Structures are given as C-alpha cells and as structure tokens.
Amino acid sequence: MKNLSEELLVKPGSTPKLHKIDPSGTHGWGSKTAAAKQFQKNLDLLSVNQYRLYAENRRALLIVLQGIDAGGKDGTVRHVMAGFNPQGASVTSFKVPAGEEKQHDYLWRVHKAVPKFGEIGIFNRSHYEDVLVVRVHNLVPAHVWKKRYDQINNFEQMLHENGVHIVKFFLYIDRDEQKRRFEARIEDSAKNWKFSPADIEERKFWNDYTKAFEEAMEKCSKPWAPWYVIPANKKWFRNLAVSEVLVRTLEDMNLKYPKPAEGLDKLKFE
C-alpha cells in the first residue's frame, strides 16, 4: 500500500503550492470499492488505538479540520467519528467569536476545548481562522495577525510537550467542486439550510484564501503538529486519506495498555 501520510504531508519548512496539487487526485487508488474496504479496516484500527489511548490516559490526540466553505469538514467528522467511541471523543465547532470569547485572546476558547488525556478531540475550524478569515477580511491589522503564526507554533509546541498530539488537515476542493456542492445544497431540501447567500460573497475571495492557507501551512507545519493537504473533491478518497493519516499518527504514538495490577495472575475466585 502507498504511504499516503508521507505523500500528503506538508514537509516542515516547505512552501505548499496548492495549484500544483490535484484536488481530484486519488494517489493511485483507482476504485471507490477498494478504498471503501481499506477505510473500514482503518476505522477498526482507529477504534483499537483509541481504546489504548483511553486506557493509557496520559496523552491526547487533537485533530484540526480546516477547508474552504463546502470543503467537507462536516462529512469528514461524520465519517471519521464512526471509528471512535463517543465516550472519549469530542467535536468542537468554532464560529464567529461571540460573548465571552470576544473578551479574551483568540487562543482562550481553543485551549479550553483541547481534549483531555485519554481522549480524542476534533476541531471543526480552529485557531487557524485567526490567520485565515481574519486575515482575508482585515478583521485585525496585519501587524497583529502576522505575529500569530509564531504564537500558534508556540502554543501547539507547548501542547505537544505536555502530551497533546496534534494533526491538521486542509480539505482541498477546487472552485468548480465548490460550485457543484453549493448548487446541490440549494436544490436539496435536506441541505439548503446549510446554504447562505454570504457563501457566494466568500467565493470572491478564493485567491486570498488560497494565499492565506498556503502561508498558514508553510509557517505552521511542524514535526510536532504537521499539516496534511487532503485532495477532497472525491469524498471517498478524502475519507480514506484522513483515516490513513490518523491510523499512522496513532500508531506512531506507540500506545500501550497499562500494566495490570501485580499478582493479578495469582488471583483465585471462589
């Protein structure tokens, strides 16, 4: 099997060029059926590893999901979460800061949502919004958001050094695919609540978002918190690719069940 983790990794220190990556790419996976089989296997492996993480209770896994609108963050959460026991996993969706969030620094709400030891946390959007939407729409001056890359790196390094393993995914679709998905949302009564006319406005900023994503990944893909670009036009490949990287990440953590209590083998039951 190809090593998708290595192929999709934004190598620390490199500059990702999104126009050189094919959002419909499948990295040698020719058929949806073969991919679906591997995906199911991966879900089983995720489940086993989550149980070890829970039993060990000393480290956590934080999964960051970012993407352009309609990139498939919700779908990825739904599919990948199927591999996890909800007792020990959480999803946090970050919206426009409101209430108390607005009265704190931008990392405050993020730090509060970091998963506990033994658990897995998924961020549907994250602190990266503060160098993406905030940058694209000039919500703070440039000299403020430019400092955030270092701040984010320091924050993530601190988490890693204290047991929180981090993996970050950029779900990459192209403009045509976004258009198709928006149209599908408008037509489907079960989905049109997801569509807002503001989405059309955001589309105009496509190039600015591309630049902002590239810079965020260039500056913040680190050995302790790597970024992966997931070609996401094909949902079946997206699900497979995310699951492959997660399996690899958890296996690299070398999770072990704690040692049993001493004398357990000599216990006798009446």
Draw the binding track, 38-77, toward ligand ADP (x: CB under 6 A; -: no contact): -------------------------------x--------
Q: How far is the CB of 203 from ligand ADP (least distance, A)?
A: 12
Decide if residue 94 touches ligand ADP (CB under 6 A).
yes
Count CB neighbours of 199 within 10 A. Answer: 16
Q: What ranges in 15-93 are assigned the alpha helix state H?
A: 32-56, 73-81
The answer to whether 95 contacts ligand ADP (rule: CB under 6 A) is: yes
Among 5, 67, 129, 230, binds ligand ADP (CB under 6 A): 129
Is residue 133 at the binding interface for ligand ADP, with CB under 6 A as the rule? Answer: yes
85 within 8 A of 143, measured Cβ to Cβ: no
Q: Going by C-beta distance under 8 Å and a sequence separation of 6 or more, which residues neighbour residue 26?
A: 35, 231, 234, 237
Burial tier of 264 (Cβ tally within 10 Å: 0-12, 13-18, 19+): exposed
Q: Which residues contact 233 (CB under 8 A, 6 or more apart)?
A: 23, 24, 173, 174, 177
**Per rule CB under 6 A, is residue 173 in the interface with ligand ADP?**
no
Output the residue with the shortest Cβ distance to ligand ADP.
Answer: 129
Residues 83, 110, 123, 130: which binds ligand ADP (CB under 6 A)?
A: 130
Choice from 96, 98, 142, 190 touching ligand ADP (CB under 6 A): 96
Distance of CA 23 to the CA centre of its chain: 17
- The contact set with ligand ADP (CB under 6 A) reads 69, 93-97, 125, 129-130, 133-134, 139
